[in-house]
Amino acid sequence: MDIKAVILAAGKGTRMKSETTPKVLHEIMGKSLLGYVLDNVKNFVSEEFVIVGHHAQEVENYVKANYSNARTVLQTPQLGTGHAVSMVCPYLEDYEGTVLILCGDTPLIKEDTLRAFIDFHTSKNSDLTVMSTIFDNPTNYGRIIRENDNSLKCIVEEKDANAEQKAIKEVNAGIYCLNWSKIKSAFSQLKTNNAQGEYYLTDIISWGKEQNLNVNAYILEDSDEIYGINSRLNLAQATKIMNKRNLEKYMINGVTIVDPDSTWISEDTEIGQDTIIYPATYIEGKNKIGKNCKIGPCAHLRGGVEVCDNVKVGNFVEVKKSKISSNTNVGHLSYIGDSELGEHVNIGAGTITANYNPLTKIKSKTVLKDNVKIGSNSVLVAPVTVEEGANVGAGGIITKDVSAWSLAITRSPLKIVADWVKMQISK
Ligand code: UD1
Ligand code: CA
């Protein structure tokens, strides 16, 4: 059965209180909220529609740059979640498959959960399935209202709920599976007779019941997965949940995390066995770390980093978009950006790859071949290549390529003035 995803990302995100960034582009460890949702569906859907509206251009640019298979559909003005989904109707007039609807602000959902949700929908021969979960504190979520026989009745939003309904702990996760040809006509029949004057997507449940369609709920056990991001507080909490989940995965796979409370590692980082991650290390974006490495304490990997086996990235070292080959040490207080480091390279404390020209805004590459040794406090002014086995003396400012096995030294000769101090005192 063909599956297409519709991801709602047009809302203003008022509660984020952000002027510059649309809600779905706020990030958790280097990846946007929307990115998480797109990554979780891209392996099993044939097409993704992202509904954009508020800051549409930015969201569209992001989707185009990172997810070439996804298409954006403009919703303007934004009249509610039901109105948002109706924007895809012209594209799916004759579509006979399944439509999976998700919100761009729910990044913790797992791919496996979505697959199980769709399997449930299929096995029940369901026309419409909504994902629900039980929250101890259900405030702000839509409540699932059931009939006396426990079958679904409708969803009531917080703002429309009476006291009795507010006490219900089963909430709408905002994720739906639709037998499209059976449900699509609902979108021309939604009404705005609710507290927010919006077209609510949630009303398709009662609509489906009225049409005598097969409507079901899939109750998710791990309610963390549908935690929605509406505020900066939610964003911090979601980052914590995500991080805990990631660290547990690494530890189970044989990575030592010395202090899980102060270590942050993104979902898209791979780490080999017997690597040790020391406290206060922050690893964001997509990275690959080999076996038997030592990372940190206080290291910062900013994405696009490949670290091979037996590498040391020590304290206060920042690495971005670089490859560090096996048996190489970057021990202390260094910045390695847009660089390629060979094997058995040693980087002295305080070495900087000067990769960025702020006038031209151009970033350039530093290449250090196998067995290169860089003395402490050196600056490698990119673009620059240091060929195999060459040494750079401490304090070197390297603006030209260095040939293999040679010494590059930029120091002025050391002068020692004998008895200088004594002469000052006797004056
Ligand atoms: C929604 C659900 C609620 C559910 C909760 C789960 C409705 C009416 N309510 O509430 O039952 O418990 O999600 O997280 O559906 N959006 C658009 N266009 C619009 C309005 C919203 O694209 O016109 C997008 C937003 O960008 C967001 C998503 O839809 O990604 C959900 O909107 P939001 O305002 O956050 O809805 P909630 O109040 O959280
Ligand atoms: Ca929300």
The tens digit of pLDDT for each residue in 136-175 reads 999 999 999 999 999 999 999 999 999 999 999 999 999 9
The answer to whether 129 touches 218, Cβ cutoff 8 Å, is yes
The answer to whether 242 touches 224, Cβ cutoff 8 Å, is no
Mean pLDDT for the stretch of residues 20-32: 96
DSSP state of 53: B
- Ligand 1 nearest-atom number relative to CA 141: 12
Ligand with an atom nearest the CA of residue 234: 2
User: Is the distance from the beta carbon of residue 171 to the nearest atom of ligand 1 less than 6 Å?
Assistant: yes
Mean pLDDT for the stretch of residues 356-372: 97
Active site residues: 332
The answer to whether 161 touches 143, Cβ cutoff 8 Å, is yes
Residue nearest atom 26 of ligand 1, based on CA coordinates? 11
CA distance 204 to 83: 12
Pairing mode of beta strands 362-363, 356-357: antiparallel
pLDDT at 12 (0 to 100): 86
What is the pLDDT confidence band of residue 394, given thresholds at 50, 70 and 90?
very high
Structure tokens at 260: 């899980």
- How many Å is the Cα radius of gyration of the chain? 28
Best of 6, 78, 81, 135 to mutate for ligand 1, by most ligand atoms within 8 A of CB?
Answer: 81
User: Is the distance from the beta carbon of residue 87 to the nearest atom of ligand 1 less than 6 Å?
Assistant: no
- Prediction pTM value: 0.93
DSSP state of 46: S
Structure tokens at 307: 């670290």
Mean pLDDT for the stretch of residues 91-108: 97
Best of 14, 59, 87, 103 to mutate for ligand 1, by most ligand atoms within 8 A of CB?
Answer: 103
User: Is the distance from the beta carbon of residue 138 to the nearest atom of ligand 1 less than 6 Å?
Assistant: no
Mean pLDDT for the stretch of residues 77-82: 96
pLDDT at 125 (0 to 100): 97
Ligand with an atom nearest the CA of residue 140: 1
Q: How far is the CA of 81 from the centre of ligand 1 (A)?
A: 6
> Is residue 427 scored above 90 in pLDDT?
no
Residue nearest atom 19 of ligand 1, based on CA coordinates? 80
Per mean pLDDT, which range of 9-13, 29-33, 49-53, 252-256 is the poorest? 9-13
Mean pLDDT for the stretch of residues 227-246: 97
- Which ranges constitute the DSSP H helices of 198-329? 204-210, 232-252
What is the pLDDT confidence band of residue 223, given thresholds at 50, 70 and 90?
very high
pLDDT at 324 (0 to 100): 98
CA distance 57 to 52: 8
> Is residue 381 scored above 90 in pLDDT?
yes
Percentage of the chain surpassing pLDDT 70?
100
Mean pLDDT for the stretch of residues 363-389: 98
- Sign of dihedral through CA atoms 53, 54, 55, 58? negative
Mean pLDDT for the stretch of residues 212-234: 96
- Structure confidence by residue, pLDDT tens digits, 43-54: 999 999 999 999
The answer to whether 289 touches 246, Cβ cutoff 8 Å, is no
Q: In 3D, which of 126, 178, 213 has the Cα closest to residue 4?
A: 178
User: Is the distance from the beta carbon of residue 8 to the nearest atom of ligand 1 less than 6 Å?
Assistant: yes
Mean of all residue pLDDT scores within the chain: 97
344 torsion bin: left (phi>0), alpha (psi -120 to 50), beta (else): left
Ligand with an atom nearest the CA of residue 10: 1
Mean pLDDT for the stretch of residues 380-408: 98
> Is residue 408 scored above 90 in pLDDT?
yes
CA distance 302 to 285: 6
The answer to whether 330 touches 357, Cβ cutoff 8 Å, is no
Mean pLDDT for the stretch of residues 323-329: 98
User: Is the distance from the beta carbon of residue 105 to the nearest atom of ligand 1 less than 6 Å?
Assistant: yes
User: Is the distance from the beta carbon of residue 109 to the nearest atom of ligand 1 less than 6 Å?
Assistant: no
129-139 exposure pattern, b = at least 16 Cβ within 10 A, e = fewer: bbbbbebeebe
Residue nearest atom 22 of ligand 1, based on CA coordinates? 10
Mean pLDDT for the stretch of residues 270-278: 98
> Is residue 1 scored above 90 in pLDDT?
no
User: Is the distance from the beta carbon of residue 48 to the nearest atom of ligand 1 less than 6 Å?
Assistant: no
pLDDT at 391 (0 to 100): 98
